[in-house]
């Protein structure tokens, strides 16, 4: 059940990101109509979604007296992916992988 909650929290980032963008910049062009946004714009929605993870950890800690390992391992992986995507997107290794994918599609 905890892994299902982590999976649900991870996919909420897209919806939260759209909501944050609508609140902060309602006149911004819709996705697909302009250049792609930098990866760093995902940090605020990721932080908001991570509050749900913190709430789940606090609830588990108060109810059981300890935090379940699924939250520790899965939550750490979730946060690492969320906040590691920006620095990773600038590496030559990732750029080469994207070029390879584009060649497959073309």
Instruction: Give 22-62 pLDDT, tens digit per residue.
Output: 888 777 666 655 556 677 788 999 999 999 999 999 999 99
Contacts of 67 (CB under 8 A, 6+ apart): 57, 60, 61
* H or E stretch at 92: helix 92-105
Mean pLDDT, rounded, for 88-94: 89
Report the distance separating Cα 48 and Cα 20, nearest Å: 10
Report the distance separating Cα 75 and Cα 6, nearest Å: 7
**Local confidence band at 89 (pLDDT 50, 70, 90 cut-offs):** confident
Mean pLDDT, rounded, for 93-106: 88
């Amino acid at each position: 059940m905890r892994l299902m909650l982590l999976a649900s929290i991870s996919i909420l980032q897209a919806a939260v990101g759209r909501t944050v963008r609508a609140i902060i910049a309602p006149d911004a062009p819709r996705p697909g109509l302009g250049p792609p946004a930098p990866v760093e714009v995902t940090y605020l929605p990721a932080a908001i979604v991570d509050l749900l993870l913190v709430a789940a950890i606090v609830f588990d800690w108060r109810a059981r007296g300890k935090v379940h390992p699924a939250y520790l391992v899965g939550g750490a992986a979730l946060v690492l992916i969320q906040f590691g995507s920006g620095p990773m997107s600038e590496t030559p290794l990732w750029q080469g992988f994207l070029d390879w994918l584009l060649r497959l599609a073309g």
